[in-house]
Every structure is written in structure tokens, then in C-alpha cells.
Structure 1
Amino acid sequence: MSVSQLAAKKPKMAEEIKHLPMIVPLPLPEEQLKEIVEKSKDWALMHGAAMRSKTQFSEDALFFAPFVLIPSAFPRKEFAKALEIQLILNELMHKVAHDRRFLTESLKETIKVDEFTGNLFRIYETVLGEGLTQRTTLGLLRSDYMVNASSTDKIKQVEINTIASSFGGIGTNITVFHRYILQELGHSDMLKNLPENNALEGLCSGMIEAWKIYGKPEAVIMFLIEDITYNICDQRFHEFKIREMCPQVRVIRRTLTDMAERASLGPKKQLLIDECEVGVIYFRAGYEPGHYHSQKEWDARLLMERSLAIKSPSIHYHLAGTKKVQQTLAKPGALDQFLNDPSKVEKVKQIFAGLYSLDFDELGEQAIQMAIDDPERFVLKPQREGGGNNVYGLEVRDAVKKMKDSEERTAWILMERIHPPLSTGYMVRPGGSKAPQLVDMVSELGIFGVVIGDAEKITYNKQVGHMLRTKVATANEGGVAAGLGALDSPYLID
């Protein structure tokens, strides 16, 4: 089917999108609401569902992370589908990451105009040219979905994250939090519809497994972190859980600048810093340009990639998670290169939303025209992680018109906008009212996966848990760390 034929398949208007059912009668009586909100804030703080404030930052203070008071309804069948397909997506992304031709072809135009992706790609080519020191890779992935009310309530993939896939730690606690809230509201009979969530343990198990593969008991796991960490609890939960699960493992935290100033390679290319040998690197930074203050941070990234340490992600896994690669995978026949089972290919195709290249070719020109003619149908996405970078609504037309004659357009992709069903609930934020107002919301489900292997085979492939982020329906972006979304749990409905 051509781009023009796909364009003719109009989705339902947003006004037609339905509401999901309330799982408990709302609004709550005013006094009950005030009491349960007060309890919920304290529960969140006392169980680490918290972050450092960007506006009132102190290393000694935490604010509870924004949360939805009562879990949001989510279709049971679609939740099960998301869990089931994660093993296939783990396999797919692992194979994509290890396919030099596919990555090079997918990114050849983007790296000409997107400096950040170009810098990553130069590191990739350098380490491949020298020969990989460490062939084993650790993928800690999160595939994000929204239910699309324009396609009979089926999940559609928003993106797949291969670097710094966050909220496995706090997300696990939010499930426990919502069990408590439902019990407090007298709905213990409903707990069976809150699915178990072991994301924290599952992600940490992956890091421990990679540490064991590295094979040196004295080696450490290093978290590569931002200069200032706001999402501190989510990171520390991983660190503390690793120590609990495997007491002999030590975790250290270092920034890119620390690595630039003090790291070196040993005689067998061991990664050394502060008298520690690093066996596994878990990147919680390095995914956006602001993390690289100068060339020395880029040199540090290259040093790490050259090293014997097992990396999550390796540079090729990082590139595999770019939006441009995601769009290339949606092209006819692309999935068949990596998944030799037609049923797997079909399952992945079903979760893809419409994804279009803006390259200088016939399909790219058609996509440009589609965006100009009907901008509200699409989201314009750059090669950036971390939230707050996408273009929506009528601004899509303006952005496309501005760049349509420039090579800059090849660094972006056009994605069919997903219209999720609305839910109604209370969103609780630090500094907000003791009695928050009911608001219409939309939710995004994230499924975590862990995959370990090399170019020849996969030795470890698991789906390990989930998280749910919810935002006010009128907000375009929904990142919790970016201050736009709230933590939530899926309440499964038939």
C-alpha cells in the first residue's frame, strides 16, 4: 500500500473517541478525597515514589512524584498482547543493533544533518573499524504503547527505548501503592485486576546476569548518570536492589565528565576508574546533546565503547533505538530481514502506527504533502530522547513548510497520531490542592524487556514488567521526569 493510499484511510475524529469506564464511582465525597490524598502523598514519600525538585532543588529533599490517585482502566487483551510481543521486540532490536548495513542505510541521511546522531555514528564506525572488544551486549528496553480508539481499541507502539529506559524502579512501587489505595477505598475485591509488576527485579537481574558473564567478581557495575539527577529514587532503587539480590556486586555512579577526567583502559582494554574495573555500564545519561558539555565527554563515550565492559546500551543498540530506524522498520519487507517467522512479523506489524520518512524521494514528498494538508493527523518526531521534543497539531504544518526545502527534514520522521480513549481521574502533584479536581486523561503503557547476546545468538530474553504514565488529555507530551505526566497503574478491564 502506498503512502497516498494510507493517507486516504482517515482515522475517526478525536471528538468520537470514547471514555474508558471509571473503575470506582467518581467524584469521591470531599472529606474522603482529602483524607485519601493526604495518605497517598505520605505513602509515596515514605516508599520512594519521589523525585528531586527541578525548581526547589536540594540533594537533601524529595518531593513525591506526580501520580494518578486511582489506577486507570486498560484493556486486558491489549495488555496481554503487549507482554507477549516483548520477547519478539527484544529479538528484533537485538538483531537490528547487530546489522551494520541496515543501521548505516537507515541513518545515512540523518547523520548528515543531525549533529548528535552523527557523533554517535562516528563512534559506532570507529569501534567497528577497530574490532569490537566486547561482543556481548545488554539490552534493557522499554516499548511504549497507547490504545488507539481509531483502530478499534488496539495498542499502537509510540516508540521503543534502548537507552535509559526509566521508571522500572518507581513503577514497581506504584503498583503496590494502588493496591493500598483500592483497599483504603473499600475495594479489596478489585485487587485481582491490578497485574503483578516485577520490573525492578527483572531489570536488575539482567544487569547481574551481564556482570556474571563479564566473569570478574571484583568488577563493578557502573551507572553513568547526569550531572544533576532529579529522578534519583528510580536510579537508586536499581542500585539497592542489585546489592540485595547479589550482595557481592558493588555499584558505582559516575558522570560523563568523571569518565573524561579519570577513566582509562587497561592492557586488555578493561575500563578503569578510581581503582575500579567496570564490568557493566548502565547508561542513565548520554542520550541527549546537553549531556556532552565538550569534546572530552564525547571522547569518554568512545573510550567506554572501546572497552571490555558490557554496555547497556552499546553504541549500536543506542543507534537502533533512534526514531529513523523505527520508521525504516515500518517499511514493507523490513521486518522479514530480522524475524524469520511470518507470525512474528505479523504481530509486530499490527502494533506499528503509520510511520513516514521525510527523505528527498517520492515517498518523502508525499509525506511532506500529507503533513501540510492534514497536520493534526500527525506527530513530527526528531532523533531525541527524554520528552518535550515532538511537534503536534497545526505546528506540524508550519515546521514542515519551514524545512521542506532543507536537508534538516531528513532528521525527522512523521508518525500517525494515536488517539487514545479518555479516562477520568484525580492527578496529584506536589504543591497542589488537598482536593484535586477530576480531569480527563490519556495513558501510555511501557513494557520492559531484557535481552543479552552477541551478533550470533541471543542467550537471555525476558519480558520483565511494566509501567503506566498518564497525562492530562490536553497535554501533548507526557514525560514524568519532564514534569508533564504522572505515574499510574493499569487496571485491567474486559
Structure 2
Amino acid sequence: MSQARFTSCIPLPLEHKSLVGVIEKAKDWALMHGVGMRDRKNFTKDAIQIAPFVLLPSPFPRTEFNKAVELQQVLNELMHKVAHDDDFLEHTLQNALQVDEFTANLYEIWVKVRNEGIAQPVSLGMLRSDIMLESRCPHTENQCAKHTPYCSWKQVEINSIASGFGHLGPVSREIQSYILRQLGYADLIKNMPENKALSGLCSGIIEAYDLFGVTGSVALFVVEEVSYNICDQRFHEFEISETRPDIIIYRKTLNEIFEETSLNDKKQLMLDDKVVAVVYYRSGYEPAQYPTQKEWDARLRVERSTAIKCPSIHYQLAGTKKVQQALAAPGALERFLGAGAISGRVRDIFTGLYSLDFDDSGEKAVEMALADAERFVLKPQREGGGNNLYGADVREALLKMRHSRERAAYILMERILPPLVSGYVVRPGGPVPPPLTDLVSELGIFGVIIGSKNKIYSNRQVGHMLRTKLADADEGGVAAGLGALDSPYLLDL
């Protein structure tokens, strides 16, 4: 079937004068409310520019949104159990570890810490499950209980490290609410779900801090050498500072952690003579963030410490694409969630996921992708956007890797084809007004879980974010300059 289409929440196109006027107002609102990023081309710490945003909220079926919200606690628990299953991680990653140096280095830290004895059994997971609606429904109208232009949503991935947009998710709703009011459609705002992602995620850090229980201890945010997505990071700090003024937050790069921290005889991580209670990673998810051995040594030092990590190293390993693919195999979900309805609900959200290992299944996956490359995405063990291969690039890469063990560092995923909607994307330095274009969206649901291998202290869903991109674009990361901020407009279909 052809790609489905949703209708915008208000009639489009907008009249030229009205469109230009509301964009001018919206840009100023964005700058004055932290809908911003630093300019990659003309970087300065003294200025931000608007983050790309979609002028109007994008349609999303209410039933599917609610299903995603309700399922997040199950996905939190699944990731927590996977992260604490040493045998599963070792078996799942064994082939990738031989060809992916970055994942192998992470795994080596995990092995060292386990062999030494884990100083802090409690982990903080601040997760984001990214999903897309699938508009290619294989059913006929008679087979569907309620035929719609999609079947249901499918999971793209779960992010377990640096799961961003806790601030930019909620503020996207606010800027679009402002725009709807300016255009005379204030009555529509009620269809945009409340979003408390920022306070929800920050409550996880605060809860972990209190669980650590050392008076006068501090929290540590691990950041890049240059932070472009500064508003999203800083608003987490501002929220914690307003809620709990007693919690002092440091921002340090991995190199600075190597130079400025130490472990005392109790394995406490010390920074400026203060004990670090919680370490929250906004960096450390890609090879370029470890340019020297110092960064790896810093990561090992943190992992050896009593600080509660978000994520702990085994949580980061659980978030790899290879684990995602392995969980789709028969019996894998039942290992963690038991046989029954819950495992079935999770299995229903998986799209086709295939191993590229050197076995019969891997060979069949390669043949399948070479025969119809447009159906698939080739994904390495990375987070952060901009790493995946699509279409002709999938074919080219597989032809090069077909007889190389390098291919075991990737998984193959069936491409999800979401419904289209017409809209305007406002970008810094972009044309005013921007053209009316076809867009597609990806919804992220946030979850917080705190616990050890044998006990879960807290598990909840805490908010959402929506990223939207041009329909003909492959990648959609906002921080990478490819997507735009958005929020869902719930439809009763």
C-alpha cells in the first residue's frame, strides 16, 4: 500500500502575511525560553540560536500514544534485567566484540569491574524508547478490527545513555501552544498531551542522590568538550537546583575527570574534596569522545567507584543494537519477562531485526538486503544519530563487508514507513517563510528506573519528545542538525 497521510491540525497553507508574522514571534519566543542550541559553524559560548522546530504539532493517534506510555515501565524493567544478565550480554555481544573496538572497550571495563567486585550495585536508568508509526499495514480492512492508515507503532531503538530532550521535549509543546494561540486555535491545545519530562527525569537524579545518602555529596554531569545542545543540558541542572538547592552539580569532560578526580580507600569518587553521589553521562556514547587513553581511564575510574551511574557500563551495553536484535529472537523476551501477555505485547512492537553473524541466519539476512536494499536500515552499535546506512548505501556496505567479520558489528532492521503530514520547519538562517513540505515523525517515550540486580526501587514513565524531519531525509537527529523539535497532536481515529 502507498504511504499513509495525516491531515494537519489546522488548514494549510497559511496565508503569507500571517505565516511570516507568527514565525517572527515564535523565533523570539524560542530564544527567550531556551528553545535553542549553539551554532556549530560560528561557535561561541556567549550566544545561542533557535533550535529547528516544526511550526504546528504533528498528528499522532491517541490510542497508540497511550499504548507507548503504558508500555514504558515494562521496557524499563526489560532493559534493567538485560543489563544485569551477564551471560546474555556476553553471548549476544561475543561476535561484535571481535570487530567493534569501541564496544569491546566498554565490555572490557565491565569485566574488570565485575572481577574486582562491584562497588555500587545500584544503577540509574534514564531511558528513551524511540518509536515510529508503521503506515504499511499488511492487513485487509476485513482483517483489522478498526482499519486505520497504519497498523501500530514499531520500536526504532531504546537509548540507554545520553537520552536527551528532557527539556526540549516539553518546551516544544509550549512553543507550539503559543503559536496556536497566536493563530486563533487555542481550543486545539487540549489535544496536546501534558509533558513533564524535565521534572520527571530530574526526579530520577534526585532520587538516586538521596539513595546514595552521603551528606554534602555532589552530582557530576559528564559532558562533551564542546556542548552544542546546551539548553537541553543546562535546564536539567536548573531544574535540580530549583527543586533541591542542596545538590551541587559539576560539569566535567572525561579528560577533566581523569585529571581532577580520584578514588579514596572507600572507592568513593572524589572531586574537589567532595564525594560524587551520581554521575550522569551526556557524553561517552561514541568513539570520538574517547580520543586518548585518558578518557577510557576516566570511565573505568568512575565505574569502579561507589557513585550511582546513569548509565552504568552494563546499561550502556544493554542499549547496543546487537542486544536489540537479539531480544527479537524467539524465547529472548520470555527469558526476562516470562511467557504470557506481557512478552507478547513487547514482541508486537518489534519490526524485523536480523543478525549479520557468519551463520545461516546471517547469510539469509545479507541475501535479503542485497535483493531489496530499500527495505532495510544497516545499524552499527552506536547512539547519537548519523551512523545508520540506508538504501543504496546498505547494498554497497554489505557487498564490501560480505566476507569480512566486520559485518558482525552491524544489525539489519526493516525500515519503518511512517505516515506523512504537511508542515513548516523553521530553521536558524532558513527562508522566511519556509516551504510547506511533507514531514514524518519519531516519538520518544522517557522512562526512569533505579535498582540493583535483585531489587528495583523505582520504575516509571516520565514524559515524551517528538522529532520530525523532511519525509525524504534518512536521519532525523535534531542535535546533529537533521531533524526538528515537535510535539504530538492526539487524534481520535
**TM-score normalised to structure 2 length:** 0.97
Deviations 1:111-170 (A, max 9, x none): 100000000000010001111000000000000001000133310000000000001111
Work out the CA distance in 1 between the residues paired with 2:216 and 2:265: 17
Give the corresponding residue for 2:119.
133
Using the TM superposition, give the Cα deviation of residue 374 of structure 1 relative to its aligned residue in structure 2, in angstroms.
0.7
Among 84, 87, 100, which residue is 2:86 paired with?
100
Give the corresponding residue for 1:300.
298
Runs of 4+ in 1 over 2 A off after TM superposition: none
Work out the CA distance in 1 between the residues paired with 2:358 and 2:455: 36
Give the corresponding residue for 2:43.
57
Give the corresponding residue for 1:241.
239
Structure-to-structure mapping, 1:244-263, within 5 angstroms: 244-263=242-261
Using the TM superposition, give the Cα deviation of residue 468 of structure 1 relative to its aligned residue in structure 2, in angstroms.
0.2
Specify the SS of the correspondent of 2:129. Answer: strand
1:263–1:273 CA contact under 8 A, matched in 2: yes
Give the corresponding residue for 1:168.
166
Work out the CA distance in 2 between the residues paired with 1:132 and 1:140: 21
1:380–1:414 CA contact under 8 A, matched in 2: yes
Specify the SS of the correspondent of 1:491. Answer: strand
Using the TM superposition, give the Cα deviation of residue 353 of structure 1 relative to its aligned residue in structure 2, in angstroms.
0.7
Using the TM superposition, give the Cα deviation of residue 384 of structure 1 relative to its aligned residue in structure 2, in angstroms.
1.1
1:217–1:249 CA contact under 8 A, matched in 2: no
Give the corresponding residue for 1:452.
450
Give the corresponding residue for 2:337.
339
Among 29, 33, 43, which residue is 2:15 paired with?
29
Give the corresponding residue for 1:283.
281
1:217–1:248 CA contact under 8 A, matched in 2: no
Structure-to-structure mapping, 1:301-320, within 5 angstroms: 301-320=299-318
1:22–1:424 CA contact under 8 A, matched in 2: yes
Give the corresponding residue for 1:18.
4
Using the TM superposition, give the Cα deviation of residue 341 of structure 1 relative to its aligned residue in structure 2, in angstroms.
5.5
Using the TM superposition, give the Cα deviation of residue 443 of structure 1 relative to its aligned residue in structure 2, in angstroms.
0.2
Using the TM superposition, give the Cα deviation of residue 279 of structure 1 relative to its aligned residue in structure 2, in angstroms.
0.3
Specify the SS of the correspondent of 1:168. Answer: coil
Give the corresponding residue for 1:9.
none
Work out the CA distance in 1 between the residues paired with 2:274 and 2:413: 44
Specify the SS of the correspondent of 1:108. Answer: helix
Q: State whether structure 2 residue 32 is matched by structure 1 residue 46.
A: yes
Among 150, 156, 164, which residue is 2:136 paired with?
150
Using the TM superposition, give the Cα deviation of residue 432 of structure 1 relative to its aligned residue in structure 2, in angstroms.
1.1
Give the corresponding residue for 1:3.
none
1:450–1:463 CA contact under 8 A, matched in 2: yes
Work out the CA distance in 2 between the residues paired with 1:22 and 1:98: 44
Q: State whether structure 2 residue 175 is matched by structure 1 residue 189.
A: no
What is the identity, as a one-letter code, of the residue corresponding to 1:330?
A
Specify the SS of the correspondent of 2:98. Answer: helix
Give the corresponding residue for 1:443.
441
Give the corresponding residue for 1:8.
none
Using the TM superposition, give the Cα deviation of residue 181 of structure 1 relative to its aligned residue in structure 2, in angstroms.
1.1
Which segments of 5 or more consecutive residues in structure 1 lack a partner in the other structure?
1-11
Work out the CA distance in 1 between the residues paired with 2:252 and 2:476: 28
Using the TM superposition, give the Cα deviation of residue 276 of structure 1 relative to its aligned residue in structure 2, in angstroms.
2.4
Specify the SS of the correspondent of 1:157. Answer: strand
Using the TM superposition, give the Cα deviation of residue 185 of structure 1 relative to its aligned residue in structure 2, in angstroms.
1.0
Deviations 1:328-352 (A, max 9, x none): 0000000001002611101101110
Deviations 1:83-131 (A, max 9, x none): 0100000000000000000000000000100000000000010001111
Deviations 1:39-87 (A, max 9, x none): 0000000000100010010000100100000111111111011101000
Give the corresponding residue for 1:6.
none
Structure-to-structure mapping, 1:397-436, within 5 angstroms: 397-436=395-434
Deviations 1:290-344 (A, max 9, x none): 1111111101100000000000000000000000000000000000010026111
Work out the CA distance in 2 between the residues paired with 1:274 and 1:257: 15
Work out the CA distance in 2 between the residues paired with 1:434 and 1:356: 44
Work out the CA distance in 1 between the residues paired with 2:292 and 2:309: 22
What is the identity, as a one-letter code, of the residue corresponding to 2:178?
Y
Among 447, 463, 478, which residue is 2:476 paired with?
478
Work out the CA distance in 2 between the residues paired with 1:107 and 1:341: 24
Among 110, 123, 145, which residue is 2:96 paired with?
110
CA RMSD of aligned residues (A): 0.8
